[in-house]
Chain A
Amino acid sequence: MSHLQLIRPEPATGATPARRRKISLDKVAVDFTTRGKTFRAVDDVTIEVPEMQFLALVGPSGCGKSTVLNMVAGLLAPSEGSVTYDGAPVEAANTRVGYMTQKDTLLPWRSVADNIGIAFELRCRKANAAERRERVAEMIDLVGLKGFERHFPAELSGGMRKRAALARMLIYEPETLLLDEPFAALDAQLRILMQQELLRLVERRQMTVILVTHDLEEAVLMADRVMVFTSGPGRIRTERDIPFERPRNAMELRFRPEFSAIHEELWSELKDEFAASVERERRAQ
C-alpha cells in the first residue's frame, strides 16, 4: 500500500534487530481430544516476539489465539514444536509473565483490595503492609474502582471484575503481559481510557506484550505488530508491522487517515476468516 510510505519511509520490522528474542514459538501445533475425537486447534504457528514488542493476535473466536497464550504461560504444552522464553524452553508455569485470562480469575472470597494485593502476600514478592496498601490504592485508582475496595467480586459488574483482574496483574509489573480480550467486557468510553492507561504503563515499563483480541481497531491502536489468525485450525494468515510512533496516543491515533488505511488493509484479511468461522459453526450445528 503506497500511502503508508507517508508515515515512515523504511519498512519497519516491528523492532530493531538488536533486541533480544523474548518469546518464541517454533512450528507449534496443539491437538485437543474431546469425546474421543482429536482435533487440531493450532497448526504450524511460528512467532518470534522481541523484547519490548507489543504483538497483537487477531482472529475469530475459537481460532487458537488463547491457546498460544496458554503455551507461553506454561499452562499447556504444545503437541508439536517448541515454545521458549528468554531462550529457555517453557516447561512449567512461567512466573515471568502476567497473564490476564478471558475469564476473570478473581478469588471470590476476597474483597477487591485483597485480590489486587495478593501478589505481595507471596514469599517471592513480599511487601510490608503499608507499602502494599499504598500500591493497592494506586492501582484501584488507576482502574477506576475507588469506593469498591471492600466489595466482593460477586458484587461487581463484569467490566469491574475485569478491571480488578487487570489491576491485580499490573500491580507487580511483570516484564511480559499476556492479555486475552482484556477490554471485551468494558463499555466503549472506559475501553478507550483503559487502553490508553495500559499503553502508558507498557511504554514506561518497557514491557513485552501479547494481546489477543477480536477487535481489530484495538490491535492496530496498541500493537507494534498484528498477526491475523485463520479459523480452525489456527494458523497465521498474515502479519503486519504497525509503524506508529511510541509513546502512542491511542485516543488521537484512531482519527488519523493512516490508521484507517492499515485498519482497512487488515480488515480485508480478517473478514474472510470471520465469514469462514461463522460458516463452520453453522455446519457444526
Chain B
Amino acid sequence: MTDSSRLWLQRAILLVAILAAWEACARLVSDRWISSPVAIAERLAQWMAGDLWYHMMITGTEIGAGLAIGIPLGVLTGMLLGRSKRMAAVFRPFIVLMNSLPIVALTPLLIMWFGLGMQPKIVLVAFVSFLLMFFNSFSGARAVDEELMDTLALMGASAKERFVKVVVPSCLTWTIAGLKNALPYALIAAVIGEMMLSRNGLGHLITRSAQQFDMTGIYTALFVLMVVGGLINEGTTQLENRLLRWRHLETRGR
C-alpha cells in the first residue's frame, strides 16, 4: 500500500468513527440539539430535489458579482498606489484605519442603503475583496525588486512596459495570497449579509431553519457551506500551483 492511500484510509476511518459516534449519540441520548448524520443526509437529499440549487445560485451570484468588481479594482489600485512613493505615504494612515474595521459590521448600513435584494451582499463582497486584494497588491508593489526595474529600463523599456513586465508578475505572489484570503472572506460576507436580512441564499437557509427551531436544517446548511468553502479553497490552491510554479521552485531551496 502506498503512503498516500494509507493516509486516505486513515482519514476515512476517522470520518466514519466521528459519524458513527454522532449517530450513536443522537439515537441513544437525544437528537434534539445535535440532529443526526442520517437525518442530515435525508434533508440534504430533500433539499437537492427542491430549492437548494436556487439558494446556491443566489449566493454564488452575489459572490461572483462582488468579486468581479472588488478584485480587479483592488489589485489595480493597490499596484498603482504602491508604485508611487508619495501616494503611498499619503494613503498609509487611511489604509491602516480601513484595515482595522471589521468589514462585516458594515452589513446593516449596506442593507439600509441597498435594500433586501442581492445588491447589499454584492457591495459587501466587493468591499471585502477590494480591501484584501488592495492591501496585498499594495505591499507587493512596494516589494518589487528595483534592480529588475533598472534592468528593464536600461533595455529601453517604457514605464508602462516595466509595469506590465515587472510590477504585475512580481505582485502575482501577493495577489494570489490576497485571493486565498479574499475568496473565503467573500463567502463569509455573502452569508452574513443573507443571515441579517434576506429571503434567499445559503445564509437565509440557516436563519430560516433557526427560526423554525429546525436543528437538522441548520446542520444541513452548515454542511453545504462547508463543502462550498472547501471547493473554493481547493480552487485557489490549484490556481496558485499553476501560476506560481517558479515561486515554489524558489522557496523549495536549491
Using a CB–CB distance below 8 Å, which chain A residues touch chain B?
73-75, 93-95, 97-99, 101, 103, 105, 107-110, 118-119, 121-125, 152-155, 157, 172
Contacts and interface: CB of A to CB of B under 8 A. Distances in A.
Contacts of A97: 154
Contacts of B155: 95, 118-119, 122, 125, 172
B151 A152 contact: no
27 contacts: A74-B154, A75-B150, A93-B150, A93-B153, A95-B153, A95-B154, A95-B156, A97-B154, A98-B154, A101-B147, A101-B151, A103-B147, A105-B145, A105-B147, A107-B148, A107-B169, A109-B170, A109-B172, A110-B169, A110-B246, A122-B152, A124-B158, A125-B156, A153-B246, A154-B249, A154-B250, A172-B155
B234 interface: no
Given A105-B147, A109-B172, A123 B246 contact: no
Given A109-B170, A155-B249, A124 B165 contact: no
Given A75-B150, A101-B147, A101-B151, A108 B250 contact: yes
Contact of A122 (B156, B245, B250): B156
Contacts of A124: 156-158
Contacts of A103: 147
B246 A152 contact: yes
Contacts of A119: 155-156
A109 B154 contact: no
A99 B151 contact: yes
Contacts of B151: 99, 101, 105
The 6 A-B residue pairs whose C-beta atoms are closest, nearest first, are A93-B153, A154-B250, A154-B249, A124-B156, A95-B156, A152-B246
Contacts of B170: 109
A154 B245 CA distance: 10
A154 B154 CA distance: 23
- Residues of B contacting A: mostly: helix
Interface string B180-208: 00000000000000000000000000000
Nearest to A100: B151
B166 A107 contact: yes
B6 interface: no
Interface string B144-180: 0101101111111110010001100110100000000
A98 B166 CA distance: 18
Contacts of A93: 150, 153-154
A73 B169 CA distance: 25
Nearest to B162: A122
A101 B147 CA distance: 9
A145 to B, nearest CB: 17
Given A93-B150, A95-B156, A107-B165, 10 more contacts: A74-B154, A75-B150, A101-B147, A105-B150, A107-B148, A107-B169, A118-B155, A152-B245, A152-B249, A154-B254
Contacts of B150: 73, 75, 93, 105
Contacts of A73: 150, 154
A110 B245 CA distance: 10
Of A98, A109, A118, A119, most B-chain CB atoms within 10 Å: A109
